[in-house]
Amino acid sequence: MGEVITLKEVADLLKVHERTVYRLAAKGEIPAFKVASNWRFRLEDIDCWIEEQKSLKNR
């Protein structure tokens, strides 16, 4: 399954505010899932998402 990380850990990884990650997750713009009422993220999915964002920027 891969490592599962928290919203705070994603925010730290991306060097953005936690609210930014929350907003992206709520809009479905970043791969995420909920456990009860808490957002969780697979590190592998976040790594892929980062690569996709880089390729979108280069278009």
SS3 1: coil
Q: Residue 59: its pLDDT value, please? A: 65
Q: What is the largest CA-CA distance in the chain?
A: 38
Claim: this prediction has a pTM higher than 0.85: yes
CATH of the domain at 14: 1.10.10
DSSP string spanning 3-54?
-EEEHHHHHHHHTS-HHHHHHHHHHTSS--EEETTEEEEEHHHHHHHHHHHH
Q: What is the residue range of 9's domain?
A: 4-57
How far lies 50's CA from each of 7, 14, 31, 57, 58, in Å? 15, 9, 11, 11, 13
Q: Residue 26: its pLDDT value, please? A: 97
How many domains in the chain?
Answer: 1
Percent of the chain residues past pLDDT 70, beyond the cut: 97
